[in-house]
Amino acid sequence: MTRTSRDRKYLHDFDDDALERLELQHRVWRARALEAWQRAGFTAGQSLLDVGAGPGFATVDLAGIVGPQGRVHAVERSARLVEALRERARRCGYDNIVAHCRDVAVDGLPVEDGTMDGAWCRWIFAFMRQPAVLLEALAAALRPGGVLVVHEYLDYRTWRLAPRSLLLERFVAEVLGSWRDAGGEPDIALDLPGWLAEAGFEVRELRPVLDIISPASFVWQWPASFIDSSLRRLVELGRIAPALADEIGAEFQERSRDPASLMITPAVVEIIAVRREDGEQD
Is 192 within the bounds of a domain?
A: yes
pLDDT band per the 50, 70, 90 thresholds, residue 20: confident
**Each residue's pLDDT tens digit, 72-109:** 999 999 999 999 999 999 999 999 999 999 999 889 99
Is 206 within the bounds of a domain?
A: yes
Percentage of the chain with pLDDT > 90?
88
Is 169 within the bounds of a domain?
A: no
Report helix, strand or coil for 36: helix
**pLDDT score for 19:** 85
**pLDDT score for 280:** 59
Q: Read off the pLDDT of each residue in 49-65 and give the average, rounded to a whole number.
A: 97
pLDDT for 6 beyond 90:
no
**pLDDT score for 219:** 95
Cβ-proximal residues to 218 (8 Å cutoff; 6+ apart), any chain: 27, 28
Is 258 within the bounds of a domain?
A: no
Residue 127's CB is within 10 A of a number of other CB atoms, namely 21
Round the average pLDDT of the chain to a whole number and report it.
Answer: 93
Is 7 within the bounds of a domain?
A: no
**pLDDT score for 1:** 43
Distances (CA, A) of 22 to 14, 205, 240: 9, 26, 25
pLDDT band per the 50, 70, 90 thresholds, residue 10: very low
**pLDDT score for 13:** 46
**Each residue's pLDDT tens digit, 230-247:** 999 999 999 999 999 999
- Identify the domain containing residue 109 by its residue range: 16-156+183-210+268-275
pTM of the model: 0.91
**Each residue's pLDDT tens digit, 157-210:** 999 999 999 999 999 999 999 999 999 999 999 999 999 999 999 999 999 999
Q: Read off the pLDDT of each residue in 40-48 and give the average, rounded to a whole number.
A: 98
Is 176 within the bounds of a domain?
A: no
Number of domains in the chain: 1
Is 92 within the bounds of a domain?
A: yes
pLDDT for 5 beyond 50:
no
> Which phi and psi angles does 168 have, rounded to 5°?
-65, -40
Domain harbouring 102, CATH code: 3.40.50.150
